[in-house]
């Protein structure tokens, strides 16, 4: 029962931190426990079709939470990887936005509301460019909120946009809730996501990166399994996971029972919509069976790890299913054929199982 208590705490915290949206952040901002020196991880020999990577963390995520993902990207052949240097305390800078007219009208803009995040991405981009050259193409990988923040950032930074070849979003709520619904009126991002999507659309196909990869897990179905409160073998609570998913999926897509997603983000909300001719060659959608939102939960101290059985985008079994799509020119038809098997072999050697 002690395990169940800890697990309950972790998933409850996940609901607050990652599904509660920007408004929740105003009331629940943990503080960092230590300072860390920023550095960019580099690989001596890299694949010519793989670019350096900038990782945009989830809400309250820090560099330490993505250490294994950084190693996996280097092992796959990316020449350098940098995580946008955010701390828990960084999110306090969003608080003033809650006292603006734009907040109450759901008309917030990425800048100034998320200037702290934009500055962090600037630093990460500068790090990989310093390591690989200022004209080197860059790949952006955004986890959760980091996915749409990254797209908003690129709309604000045309000089960086020109050098980005691939944008990948991992469990990111890229779509706003359906118009005319209660969930659209609540608007957890207070207009931020709607503004980001509008500006991304206005860029046009010629200016956007050649490829956007939307990765979404199908690890949790929204349900209330009353007789599955705790699974001792899995060290998880199907009941709690189903309830968390139900609440989050409803708020993000308006869909309830039976909806599939990664436990916080429903599949339907994870796709980047384009109405200007951008088709399958520009947007690749990957649905990963058994994949959940995150393997960690941010706390005021070090993040807490969820059970290994709660696999997420950074788990060894999930990485080979989406990493090959970061390669320049890889398509849904080709990336799953040869690169998948070769990448899996590299990752098995590089990652702990």
Q: Which long-range contacts (CB under 8 A, 24 or more apart) does 45-50 make?
A: 46/77, 46/78, 46/79, 47/76, 47/77, 47/78, 47/327, 49/327, 49/328, 49/329, 49/330, 50/76, 50/77, 50/78, 50/79, 50/139, 50/326, 50/327, 50/328
pLDDT exceeds 80 at position 311: yes
At 59-111, the pLDDT tens digits run 999 999 999 999 999 999 999 999 999 999 999 999 999 999 999 999 999 99
The pLDDT tens digits of the residues spanning 103-130 come to: 999 999 999 999 999 999 999 999 999 9
Per-residue pLDDT reduced to its tens digit, 133-157: 999 999 999 999 999 999 999 999 9
Using the Cα atoms of residue 287, residue 291, residue 292 and residue 295 in order, give the sign of their dihedral. negative
Phi, psi of 190 (to 5 degrees): 55, 40
pTM: predicted TM-score of the whole model, two decimal places:
0.83
CA distance 61 to 312: 15
pLDDT at 340 over 60: no
Report, as an integer, the average pLDDT of 328-343: 42
Contacts of 215 (CB under 8 A, 6+ apart): 168, 169, 170, 171, 270, 286, 288, 313, 322
As a whole number of angstroms, the distance between CA 106 and CA 110 comes to: 12
pLDDT bucket at 237, cuts 50 / 70 / 90? confident
pLDDT class of 182 with cuts at 50, 70, 90: confident
Q: Tell me what the mean pLDDT of segment 183-200 comes to.
A: 94
- pLDDT at position 36: 29
Q: Quick one: pLDDT at residue 5? A: 37
pLDDT at 227: 75
First to last CA, the chain: 27
Higher pLDDT, 27 or 115: 115
Backbone angle region of 25, left / alpha / beta, with phi > 0 → left and psi within -120 to 50 → alpha: alpha
Structure tokens at 97: 């936005």
Burial of 35 (0-12, 13-18, 19+ CB in 10 A): exposed
pLDDT for res 135 = 92
For residue 143, what pLDDT is reported?
A: 98
Predicted local confidence at residue 85, as pLDDT: 98
Using CA atoms, how far apart are residues 307 and 212, in angstroms rounded to an integer? 30
Q: What is the mean pLDDT of the chain?
A: 83
CA distance 75 to 63: 18
- Compute the distance between CA of residue 249 and CA of residue 103 in angstroms, rounded to an integer: 23
pLDDT band at residue 277, thresholds of 50, 70 and 90?
A: low
pLDDT at 183: 84
What is the C-alpha to C-alpha distance for residues 4 and 230, in angstroms, rounded to an integer?
7
C-alpha–C-alpha distance, residues 267 and 293, integer Å: 11
If one compares 231 and 329, the residue with the highest pLDDT of the two is: 231
E strand intervals along the chain: 41-42, 53-56, 80-83, 138-143, 164-170, 211-218, 220-221, 260-261, 283-289, 296-297, 304-305
Instruction: Identify the residue with better confidence: 185 or 138.
Output: 138
């Amino acid at each position: 029962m002690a395990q169940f208590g800890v697990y309950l705490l972790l998933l409850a915290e996940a609901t607050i931190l990652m599904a509660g949206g920007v408004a929740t952040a105003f009331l629940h901002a943990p503080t960092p426990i230590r300072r860390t020196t920023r550095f960019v991880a580099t690989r001596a020999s890299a694949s010519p079709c793989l670019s350096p990577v900038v990782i945009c963390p989830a809400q309250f995520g820090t560099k330490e939470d993505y250490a294994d993902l950084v190693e996996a990207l280097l092992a796959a052949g990316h020449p350098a990887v940098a995580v946008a240097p955010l701390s828990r305390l960084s999110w306090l800078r969003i608080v003033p936005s809650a006292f603006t007219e734009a907040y109450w009208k759901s008309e917030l803009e990425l800048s100034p509301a998320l200037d702290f995040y934009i500055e962090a991405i600037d630093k990460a981009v500068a790090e990989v460019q310093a390591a690989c050259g200022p004209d080197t193409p860059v790949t952006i990988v955004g986890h959760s909120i980091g996915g749409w923040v990254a797209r908003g950032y690129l709309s604000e930074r045309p000089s960086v946009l020109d050098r980005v070849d691939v944008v990948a979003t991992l469990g990111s709520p890229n779509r706003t809730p359906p118009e005319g619904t209660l969930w659209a009126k609540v608007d957890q991002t207070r207009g931020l996501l709607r503004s980001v999507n509008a500006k991304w659309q206005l860029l046009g196909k010629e200016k956007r990166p050649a490829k956007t990869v939307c990765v979404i897990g199908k690890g949790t179905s929204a349900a209330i399994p009353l007789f599955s409160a705790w699974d001792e073998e899995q060290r998880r609570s199907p009941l709690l996971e189903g309830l968390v998913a139900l609440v989050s999926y409803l708020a993000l897509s308006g869909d309830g029972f039976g909806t599939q997603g990664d436990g916080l983000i429903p599949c339907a909300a994870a796709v980047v919509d384009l109405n200007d001719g951008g088709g399958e060659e520009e947007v690749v959608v990957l649905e990963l069976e058994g994949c959940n939102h995150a393997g960690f939960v941010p706390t005021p101290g070090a993040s807490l790890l969820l059970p290994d059985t709660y696999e997420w985008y950074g788990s060894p079994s999930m990485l080979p299913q989406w990493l090959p799509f970061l390669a320049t020119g890889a398509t849904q038809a080709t990336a799953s054929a040869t690169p998948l098997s070769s990448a899996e072999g590299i990752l098995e050697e590089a990652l702990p199982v």
